Chains A and B, each alone.
Chain A
């Protein structure tokens, strides 16, 4: 092999890690392809399923941008959660379908990550009924939150508002991304005529349209059991 070709090949092979190329790819190539082949953000939340095992330990991953993007704004969000601990525990114990819920501040977003059993809309509906005041305190600090307040009186709109902020869950089986995109576009093709090599560009363009995603449906130590079953088997009562 001529040495010149070897040098050029080495240079090309190193391009994915080359800072200039990475800059060009992210600032020029991705916007260009996003313009040429527009991609809609895929819907958040777990995929619908009729199977019982799919309806336990579902994930909700809410990303809610704060109105006040300063340390004071972030502190207000922290306070809104801290001042409502009793309400949150009372809600958890009464609703009974939640394995855990976490509030996290990332950059200027207040995030709520939870694992729950059953239908998403019923999960939110139950919580609004028991701890609507907590949601109001948090949502008041979030961009466009005022449109659904008070959430107890705007339940359906609030459910939709939450769903729109729930992260897309990238399929556990990588190639199912094709199916998700087809489903969103209304295609019902049972057998694809796909180019498997299109999977990375499709993922890149989806992540361009949808920057916050959950990577898969999560990893569980005791999959397949509801919060109620775990509490019952451990003798924790209800």
Chain B
């Protein structure tokens, strides 16, 4: 191992440790975040135009088997499906030549930090603190100032990162949007009824050699819907809902949307979404057919990596994306996850 890879490995391990430190009840041997998930099987078919934008194998139009892991964002081993939280959707496209490419996305449209250093600061700020429930008098005072009162803690919730994250966002403008959106993100009625954003910029290469900076997102064909915020929160329903949804031959579908960036857009800054006016291309449809029978393999041991990319797709210069490449690998080693058997490279 040379000096630079040693440094990357050490930083990756520190990143994993920093994330784990935000979840005091984290269970060793599990993922540091997005700990609880469910593996699903399906296939992806590219749209007719996809191949004109990207030469990657899964955009040629043939049916590509896919494995998906949906997850709750928390690193806690305790399931709280009904709590407001970011959800994840990691997708592995299983390519015909024995290779694989991954796309990791989440329901939040932006990240909290632009650099690794900022991410370390953020994880420090996001250490859970005992919740100071806002008193009714304080709520009245907020309302008199036209502010929204703070949300009450969920039943049984004694500590939260919310206050620390808010304080960090107040001091760092780049984190504001992520913190603001995350605070009100809610809980989906189904994993199949949320939009998932890959957040980082990638470079796709077209058959004519044109390189485009793009961002991907999955849009649910069933539409987006969250639970009623005031309804009683259920702790365990998302896994069963997916089983019930897929069992009677009604597959869940997602459209893969690719937004094309322009010179001047934030290519290397995942805290900054691009303007809504950018060209959007439908790259294909993912059809989910069943919840995997072997959840230990499909939901736990499977290991994704945002930089496991097929020929024709490259990582942008986003420092967070590059840090995630090593951090995901460090996390996999730490929890004994399976290395990708489909990745020959």
Contact = CB atoms under 8 A, between A and B. Distances in A.
Interface of A: 5, 8-9, 11-13, 15-16, 21, 25, 29-30, 33, 50-54, 56-57, 172-175, 178, 190-201, 204-205, 216-220, 223-225
A196 B166 contact: yes
Given A13-B139, A175-B176, A175-B180, A53 B146 contact: no
B277 A53 contact: yes
Which of A15, A50, A175, A218 counts the most B-chain CB atoms under 10 A from its CB?
A175
B28 interface: no
A195 B146 CA distance: 13
B146 A193 contact: no
Given A175-B180, A200-B146, A201-B147, A194 B173 contact: yes
A205 to B, nearest CB: 8
Contacts of A192: 170, 173, 176
Interface residues of B, number: 36
B279 interface: yes
Given A25-B146, A219-B276, A224-B277, 5 more contacts: A173-B177, A175-B173, A192-B173, A193-B171, A218-B276
Nearest to A176: B177
B179 A196 contact: yes
A-B interface, 4 closest residue pairs, ranked by CB to CB distance from nearest: A224-B279, A201-B146, A12-B136, A175-B176
A217 B180 contact: no
A223 B280 CA distance: 7
Interface string B258-279: 0010111100000001011111
Interface string B273-289: 10111111000000000
B146 A223 contact: no
B318 to A, nearest CB: 18
B147 A198 contact: yes
A52 B264 CA distance: 10
Interface string B139-168: 110111111110010000000000000100
B136 A8 contact: yes
Nearest to A55: B277
B277 A56 contact: yes
A160 to B, nearest CB: 26
Contacts of A30: 146
A223 B278 contact: yes
Contacts of B279: 53, 223-225
22 contacts: A9-B136, A11-B136, A25-B146, A30-B146, A51-B262, A53-B262, A54-B275, A174-B180, A178-B173, A192-B173, A193-B171, A196-B166, A196-B180, A200-B147, A200-B148, A205-B146, A216-B276, A217-B277, A218-B276, A219-B276, A223-B276, A224-B280
Which of A56, A178, A224 counts the most B-chain CB atoms under 10 A from its CB?
A224
B172 A196 contact: no
A9 B147 CA distance: 17
Interface string B69-107: 000000000000000000000000000000000000000
A91 B322 CA distance: 52
A196 B277 contact: no
